[in-house]
Each structure stands twice: as C-alpha cells, then as structure tokens.
Structure 1
C-alpha cells in the first residue's frame, strides 16, 4: 500500500514539473526573454573607400588610385584637343598644420607636368580651415594665416620644385567659410582642413571659378610676395 502511494506521489510531482516547464516556454514575457530584448543603435558613417576626397555616395568612379587628381565626380581628369584641360586636386592637412604631406607630392608633380605642357593654363588654389581651428583669442586665426599658409604651401611647391611662374597661380583665403562637410565629427572636420586646386586653360572655366571663389562672403583672393632662388 505504501509503495502504491509513493508511486502516485512521484507521478503527480512529475506532472506538476512538466506543466511548469511548458508554461515557462510559452510565456513571452518571461524574465529570461525580457533580458534578451536589446535595441542596438546603428551608426551611419561617410566613407571614401578609394581616398580621392569624394565620398562613396557621390563617387562615380569608385576605384581611382588613392590621392589621385580627380574631378568633382571622383573621376580622373581628362584632356584632349576638344576637351582642353581641367584638373582638380584636394589636399588635406592635420589640425593646426600647413605642412604638405609627402603623399600629395606626386599629384602636384603631375599638375606641374600639365602646366608645362599647356603653357597657357592657370591654376586657382584656395585654402580652408575647419571651425575648430578658429580661436577667438588668436591673431593667427583672425588674420586667416593658417588658411593662407595652406594655399601658399601648394603654390610654393609648384614654383620652387617645378619653376611654374607665380603669376599663373592665384591663391584664395576661404577660412572656414566654404566647408564641404558639417563640422560635427572628426572625419568631417578633416575634410574641411584642405586646399582645393583647379587647373584649366579654358577662359570660361577660369572666369566662372574666379567669380565663385572671389565672393566677399566666401573666399578672398590674396597675394604674398616671396623671393625664390
């Protein structure tokens, strides 16, 4: 009799345990499941995969060589009897610096080669800074020396290394007035610490570009006397 009673108790206990397990598996609000529901934020990042200065979402030629001279579409410049000459270059700088990095020199050498080939071509160069490079208490920032120095370092390289006539290169000080990206992230500020250069022998292109960068609210032409050997 005792054995039968003990067996019935075991069966009843097993039934209760099985029922509890099934309820736990079917209950969507169990504590284990609640702990697994986590919202994962998704970050959006602008990427320039080929390093030509044009972000991937705007780049129509995504596989150009890093630091290549490209146009606004991210494609190599083109020349020819019908096309003429049009070259663009973007050079980026470390914060607070106007030092020309060696990786940009081969592209400037290529520009110098074309300037010699097209002896009537001219170049426009503008220097830019990011907003975090402006210091209200700095005379250097107030006089836009950093933006000017960035433009002048490019002009000086072409003159001293390739004997390009100074009058063929016009320099502009854009300060932080002509950003190409918001100044809200480190990557965007890096894009704004730049020199933009345009080489062309088309009078129409020169006029349009000069008008664009000579606006008083954007970029201001400046001249600086240097004595070259």
Structure 2
C-alpha cells in the first residue's frame, strides 16, 4: 500500500512539474530585430575605374595610357572645354626602349595633334632611384631620363611629322617620383615618361617652378 502511495505521489509531482513548464509566463519576453548589412557591388566590366551603371564608354581599359573621365571615356577635353590629354609610358630598368603598346598610344596622340594644330606637348622623363643606386652609368650621367623623353619626342617627329617646336622635353631624373621607391612596383612606376597635350595657353602644373624638372 505504501509503495502504491509513493508511486502515485511521484507521478503527481511529475505532472505538476510539466504543468509549470507549459504555463510559463511569456509575456515578459521581447523580440529582437537584427539588421543585416547590405552589400552593394559596383560592377566595372572593362576595369577603367568607372562602374558599369555610369560608364558611357564600356570598352575603355584602365591600363590605357590615355586617361578616362568620370563617364569612362577617353579624356580629350577638360571641364572648360580646353584640350587636355595625358600620356604615360613605362620602361624596363636601365632601358629607354619604347614598347609597341606605348607606340600605339602615341599614334593616337599624333592624330589629335594633327586635328588640334596649335596644341603642344610637354614630355617629362623620369627614372627610379635604384637605377642610380645600382650604379647604372647612363642613369648616373643624368641621361637615362633624357633618353626616355627623347624616344617619345622622336617617335612623334619621325613617324608622324609633328613640328619640333610643338614638343618640349623635360628631364625629371629621380627628383619627381610618382610612387615610393622602396618597392619594385613603385620603382617600376617611376621608370616612366609622362606627357601632357594641351593648347599653348593652358595651365601646365609641372615641376618647373621649383626646378625639379629641367627643360633640355
């Protein structure tokens, strides 16, 4: 008899415990809203730095040496409708050889110069610091940067017949780097020619004022 009472008592205790679980007060629980971050992907199919949704010239490339404007088109006119075209060529260490891809870009420059017959071009030649540090005799003699600028000038003179009076060459040597010289990537950017095609009366923000680049 006592065993039956104990069994019944245990069963009632279990039922009460379950009832307590089932009737728990949920009124004080609150819900939480989780804000998930929204990821926006700007697709730039041609890699010119302008998203497809804004790109009006979808076939231009960032590696093209004639820059693009904020519409993704080759920049041929400035905001004030003045001519402004940039040209860049890069060289192997110790070399002034103008590679075919940079010659092709000069062909485009010459076409514009033949259309804008009063336009002029300034051509800056530069070298990396390690071309001097490594004992390159041409770099040390201050002629490697000149040779690079002259390669661009002579290409326009000899192949396209551009008048020499429209072309100005400047020796920037290693004094006007566009990238740090402590990495190979930066040094490669500094082994360059930079050209700017403008009308004669246009402002030309180069390093002549402080004597960084020297006309020759």
TM-score category (smaller protein): 0.5 to 0.7
Correspondence 1:213 to 2:207: yes
The answer for the alignment partner of 2:170 in structure 1 is: 172
| 1:110 partner SS | helix
Runs of 5+ unmatched residues, structure 2: 1-44
Change (3 A) 1:125 1:110: same
RMSD (CA atoms): 3.0
Tell me the CA shift for residue 106 of structure 1: 1.5
Change (3 A) 1:95 1:137: closer
The correspondence for 1:69, drawn from 47, 66, 70, is 66
Superposition map of 1:111-130 within 5 A: 111-130=109-128
Tell me the CA shift for residue 184 of structure 1: 1.1
The answer for the alignment partner of 2:182 in structure 1 is: 184
The answer for the alignment partner of 1:84 in structure 2 is: 82
| 1:95 partner SS | coil
Provide, for residues 143-202 of structure 1, a one-character-per-residue CA deviation record: whole Å limited to 9, x for no partner. Answer: 311000000000000000000001100000000111111011111110110000000115
Provide, for residues 5-46 of structure 1, a one-character-per-residue CA deviation record: whole Å limited to 9, x for no partner. Answer: xxxxxxxxxxxxxxxxxxxxxxxxxxxxxxxxxxxxxxxxxx
Change (3 A) 1:182 1:50: farther
Tell me the CA shift for residue 215 of structure 1: 3.5
The answer for the alignment partner of 1:156 in structure 2 is: 154
Change (3 A) 1:51 1:194: farther
What is the aligned length? 164
| 2:77 partner SS | strand
The answer for the alignment partner of 2:138 in structure 1 is: 140
Rg larger in 1 or in 2? 2
User: TM-score, normalized by length of structure 1?
Assistant: 0.63
Structure (1 or 2) with the greater helix fraction: 1
Mapped contact 2:179–2:190 kept (Cα < 8 A): yes
In structure 1, how many angstroms separate the alpha carbons of the residues matched to 2:89 and 2:47? 11
Mapped contact 1:172–1:213 kept (Cα < 8 A): no
Runs of 5+ unmatched residues, structure 1: 1-48, 223-229
